[in-house]
Amino acid sequence: MLKLSVILLCGLFYVDAGMSRNQTNSDSPEVTTPLGKVKGSLMTTRLGKTIYAFRGIRYGEPPVGQQRFKQAEPVEPWEGTFDASKEGPSCGWLESKLQSEDCLRLNVYTTKLAEPGSAPRPVVVFFHPGGFWSRSGQSYIYGPEYLLDEDIILVTCNYRIGALGFFSTGDSLAPGNLGLKDQVEVLRFIQKNIRSFNGDPNSVTITGQSAGGWSVSLHLVSPMSKGLFHRAIVQSGAATYQNPFPPHQKDLAKKLARLLDCPTDTTGSMLVCLNTKPFEDIVATLTKFWEWHGDPILIWTPVIEPDLPGVERFLVEQPVDSIKHGRFEQVPVIGGIVKDEFAGVVVGVVEAARKGDNSVFDDINANFTKIAPISYLYERGTNRSLEISEDLRKFYFKGQPVGKDNYEGLGELYADGVTIFGVHRFINLLGKHSSKPVYYYNFAYQGRYSHVYWSEKKSFGVVHEDDLLYLFRKEEFPAIGGNDSEVLTLRRMTSIWGNFARTGEPIPVNNPDFSDFVWTPFTRDNPAYLEITDTLKIKKNLYIDRMNEWDKLFPIEY
């Protein structure tokens, strides 16, 4: 909804020789891995620790030419020393300047290199957000300076996005989910190589926000990811949302082909032609798939793959069914949302209306049953779709036309449809079917910085990605440090993430920032969640009235 939504998204092996040759006494630290030598650079944490940063390491062979729409091949060993001292390219997205199809890259950050006899550190892997069509793992977006004050190894990565990552026709030529299979290749790389960076392949926590959160929830149910991680953190997005995944996206594939003057009669003819097109041209088609002011946010999505001989399947059934029947990786999980999520998309509409331009509100009021399924991600063109839309209109707008004086319900509807309901479902399913603890949170801390502001520079609220400001250094925002009021929340967030990665328990003991606080796990019988503001409180039944509305409209048996 609206251009603002675009802004919001946007095994064991021998390592002794590698350990003995790791260099720590220069501005170019060097590590020897089973693939070859890697040269990095130095960064500094918030508290002044030295970070050994290895950026842009290739984990998969470049998916170019005839490999463009195929599953990534693991990177081959290299001769000489791989230069990982500077930023690697991102995968193609509209606002990226440093990009390339040779984008299957990851970053490894550590404050202690491997030495003979040193204890390996737990690994935290972060899958970036961006609606499966934007962003990257590059350090200027998700820098390590905050999390690396914890004694962990941080891995961030790119994966193919948009059409290049999720093109699917449901057959052997394009079964789909390439971007998610790229993520699996990252996890396989970690199993084989992370010891060389002083990481523990037997202690891997996967984390992700928004599309990255969707990704983490999908790794929990994917047979390809089994055994590759040991804990999971899902932030502001889960794949258990209201719309079932399709078996393919042939209609989108054919539209892409037509936009690039390619034939559409067979998958083969489409791919032969699409493989000849500059990848920038493929990326540039994205805006042609938006139907209403930048919506739908989800365009190229995961699919349920066909069972094909000799082809790995990332997703074999609906995630809801996998969890209900116990076919998922039973690991400790943290999951949660931020207080307002995507509600901030109303800012531009409200400010335009205050200046006399009510065109968007008028469109919503006149055409809600057409717009709602596009923006809030449910089935279209059916009698049931009409019933759902009318029910949502009554619930969120109280039977009144929506406008600049009563926009709050519109913001809540957008937040719930795009983000909150999927996470609610995910937590409730795990709370019933997982044998491991599930921790639920609502991040409601209002600091000075946010991703959405009114024109008078007042923040809208606590919106999508605001929690990441207390986990990662983002260059578009001032650094947090010294006596800043945000420091306590930053310390709490990084401590929770770090302690969970080390122990599977979110709250560290003997830490004065928590004062012996106990985070009660979520169960269906005790729907507890942690509210994070200036203080920490355990509450129950997060947004229960709104979630009951969605459970009524999209019922499942938990």
Find the catalytic residue in 210, 222, 322, 450.
210
What is the enclosing helix (H) or strand (E) of 190?
A: helix 178-193
Give the span between the Cα atoms of 248 and 504, in whole angstroms. 36
The stretches of 477-538 forming alpha helices (DSSP H) are 487-503
Find the catalytic residue in 30, 150, 185, 341.
341
Give the span between the Cα atoms of 152 and 206, in whole angstroms. 13
Give the span between the Cα atoms of 458 and 57, in whole angstroms. 40
Q: What is the DSSP letter of 32?
A: E
Asked if 107 contacts 199 with a C-beta cutoff of 8 angstroms, the reply is no
Task: Verify whether residue 341 is a known catalytic residue.
Answer: yes
Give the span between the Cα atoms of 490 and 470, in whole angstroms. 5
Asked if 313 contacts 176 with a C-beta cutoff of 8 angstroms, the reply is no
Give the span between the Cα atoms of 49 and 112, in whole angstroms. 10
Nearest 5 degrees, angle CA 476-CA 481-CA 482? 145
| Best CA proximity match to 215, nearest among 244, 184, 242 | 184
Give the span between the Cα atoms of 215 and 242, in whole angstroms. 16
Under 8 Å CB-to-CB from 384, ≥6 apart: which residues?
Answer: none
Q: Compute CA distances 186 → 179, 233, 425, whole Å.
A: 11, 17, 27
What is the enclosing helix (H) or strand (E) of 431?
A: helix 421-433
| Best CA proximity match to 37, nearest among 62, 25, 20, 12 | 20
Find the catalytic residue in 464, 465, 495, 549.
464
Q: Compute CA distances 467 → 450, 460, 462, 470, 532, whole Å.
A: 9, 14, 8, 6, 10
Give the span between the Cα atoms of 190 and 9, in whole angstroms. 27
Task: Verify whether residue 329 is a known catalytic residue.
Answer: no
Task: Verify whether residue 464 is a known catalytic residue.
Answer: yes
Q: Is 77 exposed, middle or buried (0-12, 13-18, 19+ CB in 10 A)?
A: exposed
Amino acid sitting at position 332? P
Give the SS3 label for residue 81: strand
Q: Is 27 exposed, middle or buried (0-12, 13-18, 19+ CB in 10 A)?
A: exposed
Give the residue numbers marked as catalytic: 210, 341, 464
